Structure 1
Amino acid sequence: MKASGTFFRTLAAAAFCMASAFAQAQFVGDLVLEPAGCTQTGKCKVKNKLRFTDSNKLVWETYDGEPTDGATIPPIFQPIVGKPFEESFLKAAIIHDHYCVRQVRPWRKTHRVFYEGLIDQGVPQAKAKLMYYAVYLGGPKWVKLMPGESCKGNCIKSFKTSDGQPVMRSREADYATVTNEAELAALEQELQANPDGISLEDLEKRAQAKRPDDFYYRNGDQVRMKNLLATE
């Protein structure tokens, strides 16, 4: 019994530390969309710069005047997750979409900051984890392709951007092909029953199990290529 008590105290302490870290993550700035009524058309602009500081003190921000069509939520998932311009997760969605398009930071960090943004905006933990699982599974992914060994012809050393930066390999969001409403509904029930019992790492493992040979899950933020550019 003593050992069991120690285990639960350790678990509680770990949960407290995690909650404290997320509590330090926060948005700065009010979200104002223009023109008036733009959420009805789905074509809005962010009037003011939006900034978010994550739990690692890394700053994420958008530009003022940046266009947005709300959260990227496939219609079949909207009954579970919500509509694109739902206020509770709109800030997190705008930051997330900004970095998914620009791909200047690793995809794993970009999806994780989406979760932190949801928590900061008061989205319940179960729903935030459900949305995190969805973007980790079906959201955009990208890696930097780094030069490998010397090679001739059409090899990775021949591929550089105009400013000499590494080539990016990316995949657009493909939610509908990797999950469905029934799976998300079942996971939602599981999370609501015990939101603390499933960690973000557990959700990542579930996603990876569905795509065990996936190029982006198997590799880190940078991939050193030896020969031709690989295809998926």
Structure 2
Amino acid sequence: MHIALMFASPLLSLALVATAQAEGHFTGNLTFHPVGCEKVRECYLDETFHYVDSKGGDWEAQKDDKTDGASIPDWAQRIVGYPFDPSFIRAAVIHDHYCDRHVRSMLQTHWVFYDGLLASHVSPAKAKIMYAAILIGGPKWIDLIPGKPCKQGATCIQRVSKVQLPSEAYVTTAEDAHSVIARGPQYDEPQVRAAIEEIRRKIELNPEAVSEDDILAEARKLPQNQFFFDNIDGVVINPPQNDVRQ
């Protein structure tokens, strides 16, 4: 038994190290057209580009997808870098594809940007700062879920107007045809900018002390974000009984 354990322990250690070091990987060539598009932040992919995240999830940005690079507001570029910086543009184009199409959840989509930054060997501190900026001030969306029939043999009329939307939010259709409530980025809002600056200072002071959960908690604090985080699993429309069609 002791001999078996002596041989098993190194193997177990190697397995644990391999798991700890698992990271995502990109496949395909990432080039853009037209020539010089990076300067005006309006580029299109020359070919489909793939990413497998650190959890094994498969993501892709398709040929002719539009990208404006990483979502870095002008005021933050001196800190983080230019939107088409080679160190994080790969993560950005994957993120753009899913932000535009809303076919995966907001949290999944923003997390894969962070995961892609780490796979691109962006420093953990900078990756956390960029992830925090996306969660705090980036685009938001949640599913709009049709309610169940009000009673047997009757169908509820679905009316979006019964949902009290926050300021600047709107209802749209995702690429897979389901409905979502969405809102664009708000990086230049004073509250948002202040929140990003505050968590940036915390991360720069001690990157290991700020976890992914801490970043999410900071994003939830902003009043303009609460609707989306409070309804992260989606909003179900259930009209009152007097809206039942007999």
- More displaced, 35-44 or 101-110? 35-44
1:124: which partner in 2? Answer: 123
1:64 to 2:55 alignment: no
**How many residue pairs were aligned?**
210
On the 8 A contact 2:219/2:225 being kept in 1, the answer is no
> Could you tell me how far apart the structure 2 residues matched to 1:21 and 1:34 are?
38
Q: CA deviation at 1:105?
A: 0.2
1:62-141 equivalences under 5 Å are 62-141=61-140
Measure the CA separation in 2 of the matches of 1:226 and 1:215. Answer: 18
- State the structure with more CA Rg: 2
User: How many Å separate the matches in 1 of 2:225 and 2:232?
Assistant: 14
- Correspondence for 1:6: none
2:88 aligns to what SS in structure 1?
A: helix
TM-score by length of 1: 0.78
Structure 1 unmatched ranges of 5 or more: 1-16
Q: TM-score, normalised by structure 2?
A: 0.74
Report deviation, 1:79.
Answer: 1.4
Partner of 2:192: 179
Residues 18 and 98 of structure 1: CA distance in aligned 2, closer, same or farther (over 3 Å)? farther
| 1:37-48 equivalent positions in 2, closer than 5 A | 37-48=36-47
Q: Which deviates the most, 194-203 or 40-49?
A: 40-49
Q: Report deviation, 1:34.
A: 2.4
Higher mean alpha-carbon deviation, 28-37 vs 125-134, is at 28-37
In structure 1, the residue matched to 2:165 is none
SS in 2 for 1:221: coil
Q: In the alignment, what sits opposite 2:13?
A: none
1:117-175 Cα offsets, whole Å, 9 max, x none, are 0001111111110111111111111112112253766635x9997x9954211111112
Aligned-residue sequence identity (percent) comes to 36
1:219 matched to 2:223? The reply is: no
Q: Give the C-alpha shift of residue 40 in structure 1.
A: 2.3
Change in 2 beyond 3 A, CA 1:200/1:22: farther
Selected match of 2:200 from 188, 191, 195: 188
Q: SS in structure 2 opposite 1:224?
A: strand
Q: What are the Cα deviations for residues 157-195 of structure 1, in whole angstroms up to 9, with x where unaligned?
A: x9997x995421111111222422x55444333212321
CA contact (8 A) 1:92 1:117 kept: yes
Contact conserved, 2:110 with 2:131, CA < 8 A, in 1? yes
**Secondary structure of 1:88's aligned partner:** coil
Contact 1:35–1:45 (8 Å) recurs in 2 = yes
The alignment yields a C-alpha RMSD, in angstroms, of: 3.1
| 1:22 and 1:55 in contact (8 A); partners too | no
Residues 64-83 of structure 1, C-alpha deviations (whole Å, 9 max, x = no match):
22222212221112112212
Distance apart, 1:18 and its partner CA: 11
